[in-house]
């Protein structure tokens, strides 16, 4: 369930003119920017962008970048992009900023097959390189020092990469996955693959590649059945087991992938909770969740947050943020006009 409050009818031309008016004078009228863009759905926002360019012969995104600053500017910029383009930007920032693989895993495992394919296309169009190419090229530093088998050659969608460590294999497998979306479950397969994942948790030799195969090829319905079977066999969830035993980056990435596949709402609630309770709010993480889920299931995430923390999410956001950034997030949460 979305939190966005958007009018059923609006005039893109009037919105474009109102935004241009908000940019005039000595300072930008940020409240007007919030009142307009914070109450428009993705289709309406794209209509406004086109109308603004037709009327004023300039890109609205670039104008916004020159008019507003800081976390507010970053949130508005990501909000005004189409979802696939936004995720392409998030992935690129994650790659450039020291390969934040949690965001790559999140995008790959939460989105539907068609949505993920759209992100890969948007990435290629924006950066003139494929997402998988950049993931392979930038998996470096401490990740390349992870435990590894002998070098091997991996062929992924026509690209030839020299794969040096399991996490690189996992990331490439996830970003190039195109999962079946049906509801069929193979109970026998769930049984056998629960054991494959158990071996990977124990870091048994040769188990990592099999675990990657399972996580990057099976439908989400089948994988959830496998996770449930794991719990039945071993008396604990696979994510709890990974938390107890996770000692390297590969297992941590497995944990993120399984959380996202098994229950992305609870995953996002934890991202928000960690962002807010951190010493110095993690605005990037908070912005990512609010902006990317406001038109999807942010209301459900907010409800789970309240059940988990006994605090309304909008109250927590209001307490930990300030200024126009706070007002914009609260607007997307559906709590401020």
Is 70 exceeded by the pLDDT of residue 312? Answer: yes
Same domain, 103 and 133: yes
Residue 149: per-residue pLDDT: 37
Residues 183/143, Cβ–Cβ less than 8 Å: no
Same domain, 316 and 300: yes
Residue 7: per-residue pLDDT: 87
Same domain, 188 and 174: no
pLDDT average, residue stretch 291-320? 97
pLDDT: is 250 or 148 the higher one?
A: 250
Please state, as a whole number, how many other Cβ atoms lie within 10 Å of the Cβ of residue 201.
Answer: 21
Is 50 exceeded by the pLDDT of residue 16? Answer: yes
pLDDT average, residue stretch 296-322? 97
* Domain stops at, among 262, 293, 321: 262
CA-closest candidate to residue 309, choices 292, 317, 256, 236: 317
Residues 241/197, Cβ–Cβ less than 8 Å: no
Q: Which two tokens stand for residue 304?
A: 């789970």
Which residues, 6 or more positions from 337, have their beta carbon under 8 angstroms from its beta carbon? 35, 331
pTM of this prediction exceeds 0.95 = no
Same domain, 89 and 52: no
CA-closest candidate to residue 292, choices 15, 91, 60: 91
What is the residue range of 322's domain?
Answer: 265-332
Residue 143: per-residue pLDDT: 46
Reported residue count of the chain is 337
* Domain stops at, among 162, 178, 194: 178
Same domain, 258 and 270: no
Q: Residue 263 CA to chain centroid, in angstroms?
A: 14
Same domain, 219 and 295: no
pLDDT: is 280 or 259 the higher one?
A: 259
Asked whether residue 216 is domain-assigned, the answer is yes
Same domain, 173 and 105: yes
Asked whether residue 100 is domain-assigned, the answer is yes
**pLDDT per residue as tens digits for the range 127-186:** 999 999 999 888 754 344 443 333 433 444 344 345 457 888 999 999 999 999 999 999
Is 90 exceeded by the pLDDT of residue 308? Answer: yes
Same domain, 170 and 187: no
Is 60 exceeded by the pLDDT of residue 108? Answer: yes
| 337 CB burial (10 A radius; 0-12, 13-18, 19+) | exposed
CA-closest candidate to residue 263, choices 320, 301, 232: 301
Beta pairing partners, 153: 162
Same domain, 283 and 317: yes
Same domain, 173 and 185: no
* CA separation for the pair 31, 18 (Å, rounded): 12
Asked whether residue 281 is domain-assigned, the answer is yes
> How high is the mean pLDDT of the chain?
89
Is 80 exceeded by the pLDDT of residue 286? Answer: yes
Same domain, 174 and 97: yes
Specify the number of domains making up the chain. Answer: 4
* CA separation for the pair 261, 230 (Å, rounded): 15
Instruction: Name the one residue in this structure whose structure tokens are 């970053």.
Output: 74
> Please, where are the H alpha helices in 139-186?
166-175
**pLDDT per residue as tens digits for the range 199-218:** 988 876 668 899 999 999 99
Is 90 exceeded by the pLDDT of residue 220? Answer: yes
> What's the CATH code of the domain at 55?
1.10.220.10
Asked whether residue 74 is domain-assigned, the answer is no
Same domain, 164 and 233: no
* Domain stops at, among 133, 161, 178: 178
Residue 151: per-residue pLDDT: 41
Asked whether residue 2 is domain-assigned, the answer is no
Beta pairing partners, 159: 156
Is 90 exceeded by the pLDDT of residue 90? Answer: yes
In the chain, the percentage of residues whose pLDDT exceeds 90 is 74
Asked whether residue 313 is domain-assigned, the answer is yes
In three-state secondary structure terms, 53 is helix
In three-state secondary structure terms, 8 is coil
Residue 246: per-residue pLDDT: 56
């Amino acid at each position: 369930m979305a939190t966005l409050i958007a009018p059923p009818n609006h005039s893109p031309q009037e919105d474009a003119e109102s935004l241009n008016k908000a940019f005039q004078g000595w300072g930008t009228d940020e409240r007007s920017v919030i009142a307009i863009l914070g109450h428009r759905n993705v289709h309406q926002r794209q209509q406004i962008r086109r109308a603004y360019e037709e009327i004023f012969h300039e890109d609205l995104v670039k104008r916004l970048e020159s008019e507003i600053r800081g976390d507010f500017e970053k949130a508005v910029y990501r909000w005004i992009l189409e979802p696939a383009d936004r995720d392409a930007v998030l992935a690129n920032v994650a790659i450039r900023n020291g390969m934040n693989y949690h965001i790559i895993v999140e995008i790959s495992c939460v989105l539907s097959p068609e949505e993920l394919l759209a992100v890969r296309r948007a990435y290629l169009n924006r950066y003139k390189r494929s997402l998988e190419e950049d993931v392979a090229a930038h998996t470096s530093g401490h990740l390349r020092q992870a435990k590894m088998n002998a070098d091997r050659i991996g062929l992924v969608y026509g690209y030839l990469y020299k794969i040096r460590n399991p996490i690189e294999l996992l990331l490439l497998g996830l970003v190039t996955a195109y999962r079946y979306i049906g509801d069929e479950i193979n109970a026998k397969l769930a049984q056998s693959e629960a054991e494959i994942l158990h071996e990977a948790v124990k870091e048994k030799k040769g188990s990592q590649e099999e675990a990657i195969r399972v996580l990057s090829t099976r439908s989400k319905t089948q994988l959830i059945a496998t996770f449930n079977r794991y719990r039945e066999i071993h008396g604990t969830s696979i994510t709890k087991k990974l938390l107890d035993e996770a000692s390297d980056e590969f297992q941590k990435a497995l944990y993120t992938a399984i959380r996202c596949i098994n229950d992305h709402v609870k995953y996002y609630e934890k991202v928000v909770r960690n962002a807010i309770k951190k010493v110095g709010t993690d605005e990037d993480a908070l912005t990512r969740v609010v902006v990317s889920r406001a038109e999807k299931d942010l209301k459900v995430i907010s409800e789970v947050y309240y059940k988990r923390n006994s605090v309304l999410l909008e109250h927590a956001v209001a307490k930990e943020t300030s200024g126009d950034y706070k007002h914009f997030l609260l607007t997307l949460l559906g709590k401020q006009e």
